[in-house]
């Protein structure tokens, strides 16, 4: 078992294309339990009709409304920490900035990284409890092309 898998209890995410989906797919590939909240109807930018995400990610739970902010708040609230991944040379914007702001508002542990130094992320993860629920978030693929691959590569590096 890899280093990250040895510390994780569960990965959660909202399932949007990009960073969220990369985390869910990574968890599934590595046999890590996954879950989290998604908008009502399982909606995402590329899955606009119900059951949306729920067809491929049945462990996700729907919020009571299609509002993406609801799922973000619930995923931050229900996690031991939120890992926010952005592409190098970019700033958090839109949903990523909202996720960071919700973590601050709720007093929840969080880290923003461009994945450039996995050892810094590894040290932050070591401050979270073994068996943690880790929320992984970041931009959608249409706003940050390549973020899916970047998150997958970061999670692989953390698991080495």
Task: Give residue-wise pLDDT tens across range 21-77.
Answer: 999 999 999 999 999 999 999 999 999 999 999 999 999 999 999 999 999 999 999
Cα 146 to Cα 17: distance, rounded to the nearest angstrom: 11
- pLDDT band at 1; cut points 50, 70, 90: confident
Quote the tokens at residue 63: 């919020």
Dihedral of the CA atoms 16, 19, 24, 28 (nearest 10)? Answer: 140
pTM of the model: 0.97
* Alpha carbon distance 82, 12 (integer Å): 9
Domain ranges of the chain: 3-32+67-159
Topology given in CATH for the domain delimited by 3-32+67-159? Rossmann fold (3.40.50)
Average pLDDT of the chain to the nearest whole number? 97
Q: How many CA atoms lie within 13 A of 87 on its CB side?
A: 14
């Amino acid at each position: 078992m890899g280093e990250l898998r040895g510390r994780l209890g569960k990965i959660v995410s909202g399932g949007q294309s990009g960073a969220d989906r990369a985390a869910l797919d990574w968890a599934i590939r590595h046999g890590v339990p996954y879950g989290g909240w998604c908008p009502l109807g399982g909606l995402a930018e590329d899955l606009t009709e119900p059951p949306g995400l729920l067809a491929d990610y049945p462990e996700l739970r729907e919020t009571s409304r299609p509002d993406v902010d609801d799922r973000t708040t619930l995923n931050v609230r229900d996690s031991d920490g939120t890992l926010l991944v952005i592409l190098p040379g970019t700033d958090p914007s839109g949903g990523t900035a909202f996720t960071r702001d919700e973590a601050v508002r709720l007093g929840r542990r969080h880290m923003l990284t461009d994945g450039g130094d996995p050892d810094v992320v590894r040290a932050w993860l070591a401050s979270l409890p073994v068996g943690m629920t880790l929320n992984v978030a970041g931009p959608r693929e249409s706003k940050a092309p390549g973020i899916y691959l970047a998150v997958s590569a970061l999670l692989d590096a953390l698991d080495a």
